[in-house]
Amino acid sequence: AQSVSQHNHHVILSEAASLELGCNYSYGGTVNLFWYVQYPGQHLQLLLKYFSGDPLVKGIKGFEAEFIKSKFSFNLRKPSVQWSDTAEYFCAAHSGGYNKLIFGAGTRLAVHP
């Protein structure tokens, strides 16, 4: 079955630390990949997405993600986090029609000043 796995459920960092959140997917064919963010009390917002082309994707607020096909991975990175990055981050994927997204369980990030 198609699935998306996020390895870290909770991450705690200090401001200016580097961030990498892992995401692996189990789709066998062409796959579209997304990272969404949910700030406290808010709805999901798109951070970045990968459909094709350059495997290094840049998103909003200084985030980037790298698609590594051989590893079925789409890890999210940010070189220096800020307190305002405190949020829950979701990796998602869909393959085929109707845009049906499969989400990972999410990673809660807490950034301390």
Partner 1 sequence: NAGVTQTPKFRVLKTGQSMTLLCAQDMNHEYMYWYRQDPGMGLRLIHYSVGEGTTAKGEVPDGYNVSRLKKQNFLLGLESAAPSQTSVYFCASSDPPGQETQYFGPGTRLLVL
Out of 11, 13, 27, 49, the only residue in the binding site for partner 1 (CB under 8 A) is 49
Of 54 and 98, nearer to partner 1 (C-beta) is 98
Residue pair 102/94 in contact by the 8 Å Cβ criterion: yes
Of 16 and 61, nearer to partner 1 (C-beta) is 61
Bridge partners, residue 24, by sequence? 5, 73
Out of 14, 18, 45, 84, the only residue in the binding site for partner 1 (CB under 8 A) is 45
Q: Shortest CA distance to 2 belongs to which of 106, 98, 69, 92? A: 92
d(CA 90, CA 54): 21
Chain residues that interact with partner 1, rule: CB under 8 A: 4, 6, 9, 32, 34, 36, 42-46, 49, 51, 90, 92, 94, 96-101, 103-106
